[in-house]
Amino acid sequence: MEYVGTHTPDGDEKMIEAAYQELLDGYLRSNHRKKVEIIERAFRFAKEAHKGVRRRSGEPYIMHPIAVARIASQEIGLGSTSICAALLHDVVEDTDYTVEDIEQHFGPKIAQLVEGLTKISGGIFGDKASVQAENFRKLLLTMSEDIRVVLIKMADRLHNMRTLGSMAPNKRYKIAGETLYIYAPLAHRLGLFAIKTELEDLSFKHEHPDIYREISEKIRESESRRSSVYSDFSKPIKDKLDELGIKYEAKARLKSIYSIYNKMESKHLPFEEVYDLYAMRIVFDCDDPSKEKGICWSIYAAITDLYQLHPARTRDWIVTPKANGYQALHLTVMGPDGNWIEVQIRSRRMDEIAEKGFAAHWKYKIGEGDEESELNAWLKTIKDILDNPEPSAIDFLSTLKLNLFASEIVVFTPEGDLVTLPSGATVLDLAFNLHSEIGLHCIAGKVNHKLMPLQTELKSGDQVEVLTSKSQMPLPEWDACLVTAKAKTRLRKGIRALRQPIVVKGNEILSAWLRDNDIEDNNFVITKIQGIFHVQNREDLCYQLGAEEIVLGDFLVKPLRKASQTARQGKSLFSKIPLIGKMVGSSAPEPEVKPEARPQEINTKQIYRLCNTADGPNYRLAGCCNPLPGDDVMGYIADDGSVEIHSLDCPQAQVLKAGFGSRIVATEWATGDELFLAHIRVEGIDRHGILQELMTLISTHLGIDVRKLDIEASAEVFHADLWVRVSDADVVDDLCRRTLAISGVTRATRIH
């Protein structure tokens, strides 16, 4: 933000008052108690505090808190306390007012929310990995104290995404990246489906504007055909429901642009072959919750009388709601055009929870006596992980994402209790979920009364009894058969606790041996010993010494004294050497870098031009996604100062955007004659001469150099993998289109 004067023009004043009135009108239409006076005071207070300040977009800064409050109120369904906190959420950080001032004017509850929002105001991530993890821990710990802090933060992020266009490109990539990496899955886990979908679409729009426009245009072009198909499909259903006397609302729910793109990418499909572009949603009115289930199944029966059911794609989320409170009955039937169409059946109450999130019905709204929900249990799981974070911040974020992204299964204990676990969870996951001690001493499980090993993957509906033995001890290999973050964290904590006495003993042996041989205990010496015994860190070295797996002998004395002497000689020089990109938690010594070898400083605020120089390319292509000119890419400034190029939607790029935002640089390709390696997969019906036609097209007609070819034919079907040298992504797209024109070829796609 920037200061642009002390007076607000009349036009700004009218715009601010109109936006505030819109917020107030929406609040007055809600079913919350009408506490207008305190909202009015919070607005006037925030307006005065932010007076004279504008956002990058040029509008008065107070428009942002008003917009956040409106999202919190009208799109999430929060009440007056949250509206006040949203209006005041930037006051403490951006002005001279303190949390104590807020408490004095508005009471302890609003002050507590504002303080929670101020704690996490810098975004989830900072410049260093340790700061990222710490900020993320703050966010999630605050969530377990009062979920409203995170919900208001969601509203704040949504408004920032809606106004992201005024930011510099590298900032857009960073914010869009962390939104996709953390905020969207967190919104999904909290049941904020509408917000989750919009966050994904906005992130996608800013990362891939051309593809976003292209898909949007194709959706518009196919609208009349879709409407016709939907009308033919829905009319018989509506007639049947009218006959039954059910009060309902039926509508077509279009798949989000981001979901369509994901399906096109993951299945290698063109837009025209994404048939499940829409689903039908039926929302019925029912005042008595006990009758909802019966009405759902009567609608189900009516639909299956009319259309052929897909038996494997029926989902009953009514009897067993999702962990975020989502309830509905989903079925998939064959439509009149021969394609499968999903139908979602919900009551009005279920629909409200699905759209605004179960969080809107949290116990602060219902009352303290409310029974503990699955969401509350999930927050406890998060807190459990926070108590024992991973030493590496990136591992910590990845561990948490295991829980954020997981789709769920439900299993039963022998007593009939339900336990919700991520898809893919094992017997051992369940054991750790029940209790640390059960997990640490687990030997096997009885799944549906059959004895099964620890690593057995569980399915929804399984009844599982965990078997334990006091003599069983946890093993590091168990980590490979765990899916849940809670289990991985508890296993590592248990193994560390078992190893600790041996590590302490080994450390004493190491210190005594170095002292007796007059060798200094420093980084150079320990690194040398680690290299000799092939261990990764000091803890593993001490463990092996304590467990008597290795022994320190006289043969070590000479090389270690030399290493110690080198360290002493290099100390004064080493202290003057500039450090480049030191990784958090690294135990290895920093390399000596001469001042003249330091890489040139790169301005992340400017667009970095990718080109060939006298010394070669001024970038390097990431091996994880193999980008080409023409792809949407970004630069990442690596530890050695070089610029590494990733596709914007590469999984590794998602981690980098979310975790190292200050190192992201916007890039553009310079035109040149450089060639790049691209991987293309071709599939089709095998016939005589098809390979010759393919090679003639590529090398003769198109003049493209083939570097490698793998082809396999089986049962009249062939699969070919080609590696070709091309100038840009357009050449690959053209090659795929022309290859598809060859008789018998059914698919030709680029593999990233």
Q: How far apart are CA 69 and CA 86, in angstroms?
A: 5
Provide the H-helix boundaries in 537-672. 538-546, 557-576, 651-659
Q: How far apart are CA 605 and CA 666, in angstroms?
A: 8
Is the pLDDT higher at 379 or at 583?
Answer: 379
Q: How far apart are CA 160 and CA 170, in angstroms?
A: 15
Q: How confident is the model at residue 136 (pLDDT cuts 50, 70, 90)?
A: low
- Residue 323: which of 484, 176, 449 has the closest Cα? 484
Q: Is 596 exposed, middle or buried (0-12, 13-18, 19+ CB in 10 A)?
A: exposed
Provide the H-helix boundaries in 163-246. 169-178, 184-189, 193-207, 209-221, 223-244
Q: How far apart are CA 583 and CA 590, in angstroms?
A: 10
* Mean pLDDT over each residue of the chain, to the nearest integer: 80
pLDDT tens readout for residues 305-330? 999 998 888 889 888 887 667 889 99
- Cβ-Cβ contacts under 8 Å for 44 (sequence gap 6 or more): none
Residue 588 φ/ψ, nearest 5 degrees: -80, 150
Q: How confident is the model at residue 571 (pLDDT cuts 50, 70, 90)?
A: very low
Is residue 403 within 8 A of residue 388, CB to CB? The reply is no
Long-range contacts of 9-15 (CB under 8 A, 24+ apart): 12/59, 12/60, 15/59, 15/60, 15/63
Q: What's the pLDDT at 142? A: 58
Hey, what are 217's tokens?
Answer: 């245009």
Q: How far apart are CA 574 and CA 590, in angstroms?
A: 9
pLDDT tens readout for residues 68-91? 999 988 888 788 888 999 999 889
Q: What's the pLDDT at 132? A: 47
Provide the H-helix boundaries in 517-556. 523-533, 538-546
Please report which helix (H) or strand (E) contains residue 167, including its range: none
Q: How far is CA 520 from CA 307, 541, 570, 670, in A?
A: 80, 17, 14, 53
- The one-letter amino acid at 360: A
Is the pLDDT higher at 68 or at 192?
Answer: 68
Q: What's the pLDDT at 401? A: 59
- Residue 464: which of 474, 480, 484, 450 has the closest Cα? 450
pLDDT tens readout for residues 442-454? 999 999 888 999 9
Residue 413 φ/ψ, nearest 5 degrees: -85, 165
The distance of Cα 617 from the centroid of its chain, to the nearest Å, equals 32
Give the three-state DSSP class for 345.
Answer: strand
pLDDT tens readout for residues 653-664? 877 887 777 788
Report strand pairing: 278-284 vs 340-347: parallel
- How many helices (H) and strands (E) the chain has is answered by 29, 24
pLDDT tens readout for residues 137-151? 555 665 656 778 888
Torsion of CA 173, 175, 180, 183, to 10 degrees: 180
- Residue 55: which of 68, 43, 44 has the closest Cα? 68
Is the pLDDT higher at 358 or at 510?
Answer: 510
Q: What's the pLDDT at 128? A: 40
Q: How far apart are CA 470 and CA 461, in angstroms?
A: 29
Is the pLDDT higher at 355 or at 289?
Answer: 289
pLDDT tens readout for residues 588-635? 333 333 333 334 578 777 888 888 877 778 888 888 888 988 888 899
Hey, what are 59's tokens?
Answer: 């509008």
| Mean pLDDT computed over 302-306 | 93
Q: Is 58 exposed, middle or buried (0-12, 13-18, 19+ CB in 10 A)?
A: exposed
Please report which helix (H) or strand (E) contains residue 632, including its range: none
Q: How confident is the model at residue 377 (pLDDT cuts 50, 70, 90)?
A: low
Separation of first and last alpha carbons in the chain: 39
| Mean pLDDT computed over 195-199 | 92
Q: Count of CB atoms within 10 A of residue 738's CB?
A: 16
Give the residue numbers annotated as catalytic, written as ranges: 93-94
The distance of Cα 511 from the centroid of its chain, to the nearest Å, equals 44
What is the total residue count of the chain? 752
Residue 182 φ/ψ, nearest 5 degrees: -120, -55
Q: Count of CB atoms within 10 A of residue 565's CB?
A: 13
pLDDT tens readout for residues 414-438? 887 778 788 889 999 999 989 999 9
Hey, what are 682's tokens?
Answer: 């071709």
